[in-house]
Structure 1
Amino acid sequence: MNSTPQAGKFAEPGRTYTAPEISEFFRVGTETVWRKCRNREWPHMRIGRHYRFSAENISEIQQLLAPQPVSRAPRSRKRQPL
């Protein structure tokens, strides 16, 4: 089951969203949103000293947060000597 909510609430074209709105959407703290923006880990816009997010930014963040497949090295079937 995907724990990330759908972006229907955030699909309004031309509207920007604040860090507290994004923190509620992704169920993280506002400080986390600010830190991710400050470290340039999440796409965002700056308006003065405020972080703002477009619907496109939210979509990109969802892709960044999507689970990535884990690749494992093939296990050797050869038994190790005792």
Structure 2
Amino acid sequence: MTAESETLTAAEVANKLKVSVETVYRMCKAGKWPATKVGRLYRFTPEQYQRIIEPPAAPQKPRTQRRNIDRLLRSA
């Protein structure tokens, strides 16, 4: 099996996600979806497609500076 047969085209990704091809191109150009650009076309490896369909991890709340200082003082 060649690398070309393992990659997905923008049309295939659009079909799987039930969105338009224009949406796929727009998301790739905006840098929101990982893709490999071949000339003017986008190709997607199975790993890149998996990253598109996986929900993003919820961001953790940053600790306040005071909490960090308190933690450092307790450990000392």
| TM-score w.r.t. length of structure 2 | 0.65
For normalisation by structure 1, the TM-score amounts to: 0.60
Give the secondary-structure state (helix, strand or coil) at the position aligned to 1:36: helix
What is the CA–CA distance in structure 1 between the aligned matches of 2:45 and 2:57, rounded to whole Å? 24
- Does 1:32 pair with 2:32? no
How far apart are residue 42 of structure 1 and its match?
Answer: 0.1
Query: Do the aligned partners of 1:37 and 1:43 also contact (CA within 8 Å) in 2?
Result: yes
Which digits, 9 at most, give the CA deviation of each residue in 1:43-67, with x for residues without a partner? 000111110000000100011xx38
SS in 2 for 1:60: helix
Give me the whole-angstrom Cα distance separating, in 2, the residues matched to 1:21 and 1:62.
Answer: 14
Q: 2:49 aligns to what?
A: 58
| Partner of residue 74, structure 2 | none
CA distance in 2, matches of 1:62, 1:22: 10
Q: What are the ranges of 5 or more consecutive residues in structure 1 without an aligned counterpart?
A: 1-11, 70-82
After the TM superposition, list the runs of 4 or more consecutive aligned residues in structure 1 that deviate by more than 2 angstroms: 66-69
Q: Which amino acid aligns with 2:29?
A: R
The aligned counterpart of 2:66 is none
Return the offset for 1:13.
8.3
**What count of residue pairs does the alignment treat as equivalent?**
56
Higher helix share: 2
Asked if 1:23 corresponds to 2:43, the answer is no
Amino acid at match of 1:60: R
Name whichever of 35-44 and 14-23 sits farther off.
14-23
